[in-house]
C-alpha cells in the first residue's frame, strides 16, 4: 500500500482511504448491520488501509468502532459534524458550539475512542463559511487543546457546490488543516480552483466522488454526458454519447473505467488520500489495486483533458 503525507498534519497515511458514507455506507444502505459493515472496516485494515472517513450523519460510526477495536492505534480516523442545528425545530440553523461538542462526544462514544485524528465540519456551503469560522472554529480549537481532536478539517457539499465556491475561500484562508474535495475525471475543476492553493498552504486533501454513480453505472454516465454535450461543456463529437468512456476501456494499459477513475485522482498533484466507498470487500481489493497503480497513459490524460477539462457543473452523483 502506498502512503502519502497529509499536508501540514504531517500524518503519513495510506493513499487509499475507506469512505464510510456515500451511496453504500459500508453496505448499510443495502441493509447490512453494523456488525456486518464492521467486517469491511477490518478487511480494509488487513489490506493496508490506515485512513478511515466516517460521519455522524452516515450512521456508520458504530461499525467503524467495531471494525477498529483492538487496532485503534493503526488507523487515522476522520469524522464530521454538520454546521447546522440538528435539534428538533432548528434543523436549518447554524449549530452552536454546544451542538458541536455534543456531536463530537456522540462520535467518540460510537467510535469507542477518546480522540479522533480529524474532525471536519461537514458539507459546508459558501454562505455558511464565515459563521463557521467565527462561531464553530473556536470550539473546534478548544476540543483540539483538550486532546479530543488532533486536526481540524472542512468538507464541501460537492453534490450542489460543483464549482467549489466554499473551498475556493476556505483553502486560501488556511484555517483548516485538511479539505475534502470532490474531484473526478468528469469534473476536474478542483485542478484550477482548489489544488494550487492547497499546495501553496500545505493543506491536506481528501478526494471524494472519484467514482460515485456516474462512473459505476453506465446509464448514469450516459445521462450525465448527454447533459454536458447539451451545455457545451463537452465539445461536440468528443465522445460517443452511447458509450462515452469507451476510449478508456479500449486502451491496453487500462483495465476498466472504474480503474481509470481512481488512477486519475491518485496522480493529481495536490491530491492526497483517495477515498473509496463500498460495501464489498471484493470491490475494495480492486479499488486499492487501482489507487496503487501507475498514472494513466499520457495520451489518455490528454484526451480526458480535451473532453472534460472545462466541466464544472456536475458531480457525478
Ligand atoms: N461532503 C462530504 O463530506 C462527503 C460527501 C460525499 C462523500 N464523502 C466521503 O467520501 C467517500 C467516498 O465517496 P463514495 O462513497 O461515493 O465513493 P466512490 O468511491 O466515489 O463511489 C462509490 C460507489 O461506487 C461503487 N463501487 C465502488 N467500487 C466498485 C467496484 N469495484 N465495482 C463496482 N462498483 C463499485 C460503490 O458501490 P458498492 O458498494 O457496490 O461497491 C459505491 O456506490 C464517502 O464514503 C464519504 O466517506 C464525504
Ligand 1 site-directed mutation target among 15, 18, 20, 21, most atoms within 8 Å of CB: 21
Q: Which of 151, 197, 158 is nearest to 178 (CA)?
A: 151
Instruction: Please state, in angstroms and as integers, the Cα–Cα distance from residue 108 to each residue in 80, 105, 116, following that order.
Output: 11, 5, 7
Lookup: cell for 212: 460515485
* Rounded CA separation 197/200 (Å): 5
* Rounded CA separation 193/208 (Å): 16
Residue 255 forms part of a structural domain: no
Residue 229 forms part of a structural domain: no
The pLDDT of residue 87 is 67
Task: Identify the residue whose C-alpha is closest to ligand 1 atom 29.
Answer: 283
- Phi/psi of residue 78, nearest 5 degrees: -115, 130
Lookup: cell for 38: 464492521
Residue 15 forms part of a structural domain: yes
Determine the structural domain holding residue 108 and report its residue range: 3-211+266-299
Burial class (CB in 10 A: 0-12, 13-18, 19+), 22: buried
142 Cα–ligand 1 center, Å: 32
Give the chain's domain count: 1
One pLDDT digit (tens) per residue for the chain, 317 residues = 999 999 999 999 999 999 999 999 999 999 999 999 999 999 999 999 999 999 999 999 999 999 999 999 999 999 999 999 766 677 678 999 999 999 999 999 999 999 999 999 999 999 999 999 999 999 999 999 999 999 999 999 999 999 999 999 999 999 999 999 999 999 999 999 999 999 999 999 999 999 999 999 999 999 999 999 999 999 999 999 999 999 999 999 999 999 999 999 999 999 999 999 999 999 999 999 999 999 999 999 999 999 999 999 999 99
Strands (E), 54-203: 76-81, 116-124, 149-156, 178-182
> 3-class DSSP state for residue 94?
strand
Residue 54 forms part of a structural domain: yes
Residue 308 forms part of a structural domain: no
- Measured from the Cα of 278, ligand 1's closest atom is 39
Residue 185 forms part of a structural domain: yes
Task: Identify the residue whose C-alpha is closest to ligand 1 atom 28.
Answer: 283
Q: Which residues 6+ apart lie within 8 Å of 235 measured at CB?
A: 306, 307
Instruction: Please state, in angstroms and as integers, the Cα–Cα distance from residue 311 to each residue in 60, 169, 235, 249, following that order.
Output: 32, 20, 10, 21
53 Cα–ligand 1 center, Å: 11
Q: Which of 79, 106, 82 is nearest to 94 (CA)?
A: 82
207 Cα–ligand 1 center, Å: 11
Q: What is the CA radius of gyration of the chain?
A: 19
Q: Which residues line ligand 1 (CB under 6 A)?
A: 19-24, 53, 122-123, 155, 157, 180, 208-212, 216, 258, 275-280, 283, 286-287
Residue 219 forms part of a structural domain: no
Task: Identify the residue whose C-alpha is closest to ligand 1 atom 6.
Answer: 22
Torsion of CA 51, 300, 233, 220, to 10 degrees: -60
CATH classification at residue 142:
3.20.20.100
The pLDDT of residue 285 is 98
Residue 231 forms part of a structural domain: no
Amino acid at each position: 500500500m502506498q502512503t502519502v503525507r497529509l499536508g501540514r498534519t504531517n500524518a503519513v497515511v495510506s493513499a487509499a482511504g475507506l469512505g464510510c458514507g456515500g451511496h453504500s455506507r459500508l453496505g448499510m444502505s443495502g441493509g447490512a448491520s453494523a456488525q456486518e459493515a464492521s467486517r469491511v472496516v477490518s478487511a480494509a485494515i488487513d489490506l493496508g488501509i490506515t485512513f478511515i472517513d466516517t460521519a455522524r450523519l452516515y450512521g456508520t460510526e458504530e461499525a467503524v468502532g467495531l471494525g477498529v477495536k483492538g487496532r485503534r492505534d493503526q488507523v487515522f480516523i476522520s469524522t464530521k459534524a454538520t454546521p447546522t442545528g440538528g435539534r428538533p425545530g432548528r434543523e436549518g440553523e447554524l449549530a452552536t458550539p454546544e451542538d458541536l461538542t455534543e456531536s463530537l462526544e456522540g462520535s467518540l462514544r460510537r467510535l469507542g475512542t477518546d480522540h479522533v485524528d480529524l474532525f471536519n465540519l461537514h458539507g459546508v456551503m459558501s454562505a455558511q463559511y464565515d459563521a463557521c469560522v467565527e462561531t464553530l472554529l473556536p470550539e473546534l480549537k478548544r476540543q483540539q487543546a483538550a486532546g479530543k481532536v488532533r486536526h481540524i478539517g472542512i468538507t464541501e457539499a460537492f453534490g450542489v457546490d460543483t464549482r467549489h465556491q466554499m473551498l475556493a475561500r476556505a483553502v486560501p484562508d488556511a484555517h483548516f488543516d485538511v479539505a475534502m474535495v470532490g474531484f473526478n475525471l468528469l469534473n476536474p475543476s478542483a485542478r484550477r480552483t482548489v489544488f494550487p492553493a492547497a499546495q501553496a498552504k500545505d493543506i491536506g486533501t481528501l478526494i471524494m466522488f472519484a467514482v460515485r454513480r456516474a462512473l459505476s453505472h453506465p446509464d448514469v454516465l450516459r445521462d450525465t454526458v448527454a447533459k454536458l454535450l447539451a451545455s457545451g461543456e463537452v465539445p461536440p463529437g468528443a465522445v460517443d454519447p452511447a458509450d462515452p468512456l469507451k476510449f478508456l476501456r479500449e486502451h491496453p494499459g487500462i483495465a476498466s473505467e472504474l480503474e481509470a477513475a481512481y488512477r486519475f485522482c491518485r496522480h493529481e498533484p495536490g491530491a492526497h488520500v483517495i477515498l473509496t466507498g463500498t460495501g464489498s470487500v471484493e470491490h475494495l481489493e480492486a479499488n486499492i489495486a487501482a489507487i496503487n497503480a501507475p498514472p494513466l497513459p499520457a495520451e489518455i490524460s490528454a484526451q480526458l483533458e480535451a473532453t472534460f477539462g472545462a466541466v464544472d457543473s456536475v458531480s457525478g452523483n
